[in-house]
Amino acid sequence: MRPRGTVTLGDTSADTGSRRASQLRARSSGRTPGAGRTETVTVVVPSLNGWYFSTVITGAEVACARAGFEFQVITVSSPEQRDRLLDESRRLERRTDGLILIDVTIEPNYIKSLKQRGIGLVVIGVNLAGHPSVYIDDELVGAMAAEHLVKLGHRLLAVISGQPACPLSFDVSAARRRGFNRALTAEGVDIATVPVQKGSFNIKGGHDSMSALLDGPTPPTAVFAMSDEMAFGAIMALGKRSLKPGVDVSIVGVDDHEFACVVDLTTIHQPVADHGSVAAGMLLTAMIDAEKTRRSAVVGDKAPEHAPVPTPFRPPLTLIERTTTGQPRAQR
């Protein structure tokens, strides 16, 4: 017998997780032979590298364990790998009761197929209309960074932009750049003068990008790094040139990584662990709904025509100002 407990997910009550798990187990008793409940949740990610993915996965795993579900993680790095995983002929329903996709796109035909097969689905990273989703407003992220730096007096700005983890990933960098550019334009800053250096969403990507910006014709006085890990690398690049963050070059990151406070990084906080735990709570509900649909199809009943539309979870964003941002030297 697997351990069972309670779970608090988002705005649910303390015993909602275990209650939903019990409902699922009760419903599974009527399934056809060979299609029994697996009591397993599967998380699908494009990569296991990086603090963001590991933190979201941990949040989901803890929540699933408290609700009495086993947990597995599968990486897919191409549309072909994703399609093989979701293919009906592979009997995915024999291996899992629900999927949490983190930064992985999914086609409408697979969404419909999963629902018909009684497999719950939650997506993290984008608002998937009509389906349970956990996402942040990435355009707002960019706007918040721009407004903070311009307010401090910076006009020589630059961006360290990330690259998607794989062809399946959402292009969050594009959304953040749109928000950043929109806010700069509103402040009268010519975005054509703002260099953008692309790199991987990790420390090396940030280090190499900052180095390239410093070697450019007009080194910036302020930089928006699209993740805290990139910001850490940018700070390292400054240190190698005896430059101080917040004094010589201001840096703002995104995420509020657990080490952000150690380097005193100004960052845009998002509750990353909550992405996973809230998604797990949504999935328990989605699995109940998906099982209803599957059972209706088995007995020939008509599925409900007006199923409630899930409310997406969009966590709040907060700018945490620390010492890596400050006024330009010329204004002190």
pLDDT at position 6 over 50: no
Lowest-confidence region among 30-34, 121-125, 284-288: 30-34
* Domain match, 191 and 45 both: no
* Domain match, 20 and 112 both: yes
- For 131-166, write each residue's pLDDT tens digit: 899 999 999 999 999 999 999 999 999 999 998 878
* Domain match, 116 and 143 both: no
Give residues with Cβ within 8 angstroms of 302, minimum separation 6: 296
pLDDT at position 10 over 70: no
Task: Give the count of beta carbons closer than 10 Å to the beta carbon of residue 271.
Answer: 17
What pLDDT was estimated at residue 17?
Answer: 42
CA distance 244 to 49: 28
What pLDDT was estimated at residue 115?
Answer: 84
> In this structure, is residue 10 part of a structural domain?
no
What pLDDT was estimated at residue 166?
Answer: 80
Mean pLDDT of 277-291: 85
> In this structure, is residue 5 part of a structural domain?
no
> In this structure, is residue 312 part of a structural domain?
no
> In this structure, is residue 11 part of a structural domain?
no
> In this structure, is residue 231 part of a structural domain?
yes
CA distance 252 to 245: 10
* Domain match, 146 and 39 both: no
Name the band, by pLDDT with cuts 50, 70 and 90, for residue 226: very high
> In this structure, is residue 23 part of a structural domain?
yes
CA distance 69 to 78: 28
DSSP per-residue codes, 178-208 = HHHHHHHHHTT--GGG--EEEE-SSHHHHHH
Mean pLDDT of 256-276: 97
Number of domains making up the chain: 2
What pLDDT was estimated at residue 308?
Answer: 65
What pLDDT was estimated at residue 60?
Answer: 97
* Domain match, 29 and 124 both: yes
Burial tier of 165 (Cβ tally within 10 Å: 0-12, 13-18, 19+): buried
* Domain match, 179 and 68 both: no
Nearest Cα neighbor of 312 from 45, 122, 110, 140 is 122
pLDDT at position 2 over 70: no
* Domain match, 84 and 153 both: no
Name the band, by pLDDT with cuts 50, 70 and 90, for residue 301: low
What pLDDT was estimated at residue 181?
Answer: 98
> In this structure, is residue 306 part of a structural domain?
no
What is the domain extent for residue 150? 138-269+318-331
pLDDT at position 229 over 60: yes
What pLDDT was estimated at residue 306?
Answer: 54
Report the relative pairing of strands 266-269 and 318-320 from DSSP bridges: antiparallel
* Domain match, 244 and 284 both: no
CATH code for position 28: 3.40.50.2300
pLDDT at position 186 over 50: yes
CA distance 170 to 48: 16
Mean pLDDT of 48-62: 95
Mean pLDDT of 94-105: 93
pLDDT at position 19 over 70: no
Half-sphere exposure of 135 (CA within 13 A, CB side): 24
Report the relative pairing of strands 250-255 and 157-162 from DSSP bridges: unpaired
> In this structure, is residue 65 part of a structural domain?
yes
Q: Which two tokens stand for residue 295?
A: 């059972």
What pLDDT was estimated at residue 300?
Answer: 66
- Mean pLDDT in the chain? 86
* Domain match, 322 and 195 both: yes
pTM score of the predicted model: 0.85
* Domain match, 262 and 157 both: yes
Lowest-confidence region among 6-20, 159-173, 192-206, 215-229: 6-20
* Domain match, 184 and 324 both: yes
Burial tier of 215 (Cβ tally within 10 Å: 0-12, 13-18, 19+): exposed
Give residues with Cβ within 8 angstroms of 151, minimum separation 6: none
Name the range with the highest mean pLDDT among 65-79, 84-98, 250-264, 295-309: 250-264
Name the band, by pLDDT with cuts 50, 70 and 90, for residue 268: very high
* Domain match, 256 and 212 both: yes
Lowest-confidence region among 168-172, 227-231, 273-277, 324-328: 168-172
- Which of 199 and 295 is assigned the larger pLDDT? 199
Q: Which two tokens stand for residue 80?
A: 């072909």
What pLDDT was estimated at residue 228?
Answer: 98
CA distance 102 to 75: 10
Q: What percent of the chain has pLDDT over 70?
A: 84
CA distance 327 to 182: 22
Residue pair 316/140 in contact by the 8 Å Cβ criterion: no
